[in-house]
Structure 1
Amino acid sequence: MGSVVDAPVVVEEVAENMLGDKKVTVVFVLGGPGSGKGTQCANIVEHFGFTHLSAGDLLRAEIKSGSENGTMIENMIKEGKIVPSEVTIKLLQDAMIKNENDKFLIDGFPRNEENRAAFENVTKISPAFVLFFDCSEEEMERRLLGRNQGRVDDNIETIRKRFKVFVESSLPVIEHYNAKDKVKKIDAAKPISEVFEDVKAIFAPYAKVA
């Protein structure tokens, strides 16, 4: 009976996941600070031919471009305001349209349930799945404090605050997709090489054709 119910969903996604004239595969990558998702995204790009899109990088690039949109984003950040979901979504959408690839890792977005709903409403794209790098607060603290990258925000109180914000805002997103059986949870506390073995098993269907 389950398969009968599932069938229309698949058809609907095939019809919807269009960007311009191409069908795209989108994977949301979520994980707290220090979860190692950046390292694993680079591995996925190299081995499985995805394009990595970081919401934060796109916002910074837009600011750097000096465009009217970039100036607006910069002013909002300076004033401590949250950049509207639609602005970030437009940047992600434009980046996907301009890129010749049709497989994308979207990193650091959606940050919250409002982001998620807006992304699906605006783009009509539903992610293939959510890759969630699950890591304890203690392990993240250990990693971030041991980085020695000279980052001002890598002190213990700030790290704890960043982790708390991540958990509170991202949990509803993860729960939403979990209810649709779309969350692939990775134990990110393992060594990098072991984590990538788990990642590879998930991405095997997307292996690059030689």
Structure 2
Amino acid sequence: MEVERKEINVDALKSANLPIIWILGGPGSGKGTQCDNIRVKTGFCHLSSGDLLRNEVVSGSKRGLQLYKLMEMGELVPTQVVLDLIAEAMVQEVYGGKAKGFLLDAFPWNLDQADAFVARIGQPKKIIYLSLEQDVMIDRLLARGNFDDNRETIEKRCANFQNQTRPVLEKFKDLVTRLDANRPAEEVTADILPALA
């Protein structure tokens, strides 16, 4: 199924030369929490590809309806469409004059997304990898109690992280700061902030 593409001019984004940070880690490693904490302390813009996709669907736009049908069928949204949404949000922040940098929450998910992002927008300044043992991830997500968080689906998400995202960390290892995420969130945030410099 075709999804409408938008031509996004990323020249302003590239010339703004703002730091871009990828926040990666397995399910339940605290990516969203850390992005929120860092956003408050730095003024960086927190972007989640999942939130951008959901917002587009809720908007009722033609593209949103196409995305809804795709997701309803259990199909993956094409990388270039996800990148359209991210690039659009980043450019809006630059034109709004508020952004001091960007935190990409759980994106890129795989090498295809990473390579497409670098080709279209540029290389991240830093990659923060929130490292956590799988049994801790499972316990955290089961305790959270979301409707889709059962042991089987969580183990599948952990396996996807190992198979899909770990190669991103390996390819860009020179940019990666690995942090132990099995600590209080405030301690992890305190370690991330100097790593962004």
Q: Under a length normalisation based on structure 1, what TM-score does the superposition of the two structures give?
A: 0.83
Q: Contact 2:22 / 2:103 at 8 angstroms: preserved in 1? A: yes
**What corresponds to 2:132 in structure 1?**
135
Q: Distance in 1 between matches of 2:72 and 2:150?
A: 22
**What corresponds to 1:117 in structure 2?**
115
Q: Does 1:184 align with 2:181?
A: no
**What corresponds to 1:78 in structure 2?**
72
Q: Contact 2:12 / 2:91 at 8 angstroms: preserved in 1? A: no
Q: Contact 1:17 / 1:126 at 8 angstroms: preserved in 2? A: no
Structure 1 unmatched runs, 5+: 1-15, 206-210
What RMSD, in angstroms, separates the aligned Cα atoms of the two structures? 1.7
1:173 is displaced (CA, Å) by: 0.5
Structure 2 unmatched runs, 5+: 1-9
* 1:114 match: secondary structure: helix
Higher Cα radius of gyration: 1
1:22 is displaced (CA, Å) by: 2.0
Q: Distance in 1 between matches of 2:55 and 2:68?
A: 11
Q: Specify whether residues 191 and 102 from structure 1 end up closer, same or farther in structure 2 by C-alpha distance, changes over 3 A only.
A: closer
Q: Does 1:87 align with 2:85?
A: no
Residues 191-202 of structure 1: pairs in structure 2 closer than 5 A: 191-202=184-195
Q: Distance in 1 between matches of 2:108 and 2:157?
A: 16
Q: Does 1:173 align with 2:184?
A: no
**What corresponds to 1:163 in structure 2?**
158
Q: Contact 2:31 / 2:106 at 8 angstroms: preserved in 1? A: no
1:21 is displaced (CA, Å) by: 4.4
What letter corresponds to residue 119 of structure 2 in structure 1?
N
Residues 140-159 of structure 1: pairs in structure 2 closer than 5 A: 140-148=137-145, 151-159=146-154
What letter corresponds to residue 178 of structure 2 in structure 1?
K
Q: Contact 2:21 / 2:103 at 8 angstroms: preserved in 1? A: yes
**What corresponds to 1:40 in structure 2?**
34
What letter corresponds to residue 188 of structure 2 in structure 1?
V
Percent identity, aligned pairs only?
39
**What corresponds to 2:23 in structure 1?**
29
**What corresponds to 2:3 in structure 1?**
none
